[in-house]
Amino acid sequence: QFARHIKKSEGQKTPKVELQISIYGVKILDPKTKEVQHNCQLHRISFCADDKTDKRIFTFICKDSESNKHLCYVFDSEKCAEEITLTIGQAFDLAYRKFLESGGKDVETRKQIAGLQKRIQELETENAELKNKVQDLENQLRITQVHASPAGSVTPKSPSTDIFDMVPFSPISPQSSTPTRNGTQPPPVPSRSTEISK
């Protein structure tokens, strides 16, 4: 109640949620998207009560499956806290009857189903993250291709037709690769005759 008054004085609103109560547990959903925010299995709920002085407030305590901590969930309802608490109590009664009828097998099945549902949720989250990564990589690839195409369209330099490039240097070659002086080419060196008179 104190937290509610503080939030109201600060202009904050308590987020609205939707409850689904069944013999398997209490699901807390987003009222618009119907996304499950919390799934409190019935066998993990250890306490449930409404506030006798305020008909709007009810609460239950549930042991978290991951952290093994007891979490207290408090709700501000539209003056129907007692009815919601009684409904959760009825869910407990029905679940216990079903447990007696099935000889305890149903509890193990429910635990397995809950484990599989949790794994499915984890895989769906992982799948969504991977889809986002693939999308980011595709976007980066498109940007890289757009930037690379103008550079790729530049025509390659035509090969030089300079005589020095065309004639390979060899000791026998009449062309010399020595640098020129004052922009003029030095006179050609006479070739040595390989035939020397004997």
* Residues paired with 59 in a beta bridge: 49, 74
Residue 106 has a pLDDT of: 64
- Whether residue 47 is found in the same domain as residue 98: yes
- How far is it, in rounded angstroms, from Cα 31 to Cα 45? 22
Confidence of residue 28 (pLDDT cuts 50, 70, 90): very high
Neighbour count for residue 42 (Cβ, 10 Å) = 20
Confidence of residue 105 (pLDDT cuts 50, 70, 90): low
- In a domain? residue 87: yes
- Whether residue 57 is found in the same domain as residue 24: yes
Of the three residues 102, 135, 158, the one that is the final residue of a domain is 102
Q: What is the CATH number of the domain that holds 76?
A: 2.30.29.30
- Whether residue 67 is found in the same domain as residue 119: no
Q: Give the range of the structural domain holding residue 68, as residue numbers without chain letter.
A: 18-102
**Where is average pLDDT lowest: 103-117, 151-165, 180-194?**
151-165
- Dump pLDDT digits (tens) for 46-92: 999 998 888 899 999 999 888 889 999 999 888 889 999 999 999 99
Element containing residue 157 per DSSP (H, E): none
Alpha helices by DSSP H, 1-104 = 2-9, 81-102
- How far is it, in rounded angstroms, from Cα 60 to Cα 70? 10
Prediction pTM value: 0.49
- Whether residue 93 is found in the same domain as residue 118: no
Q: Check if the beta carbon of residue 164 is closer than 8 Å to that of residue 177.
A: yes
Q: b/e map of 54-91 (b: 16 or more CB within 10 Å)? A: eeebbebebeeeeeeeeeebebebeeebeebbeebeeb
Pairing state of beta strands 45-50 and 36-41? unpaired
- How far is it, in rounded angstroms, from Cα 133 to Cα 40? 32
> How distant, in Å, are the alpha carbons of 50, 51, 59, 137, 138 from that of 54?
8, 5, 12, 54, 56
- Whether residue 110 is found in the same domain as residue 75: no
- In a domain? residue 185: no
Bigger pLDDT: 188 or 46? Answer: 46
Of the three residues 44, 72, 102, the one that is the final residue of a domain is 102
Say yes or no to pLDDT of 189 above 60: no
Residue 73 has a pLDDT of: 92
Q: Check if the beta carbon of residue 40 is closer than 8 Å to that of residue 28.
A: yes
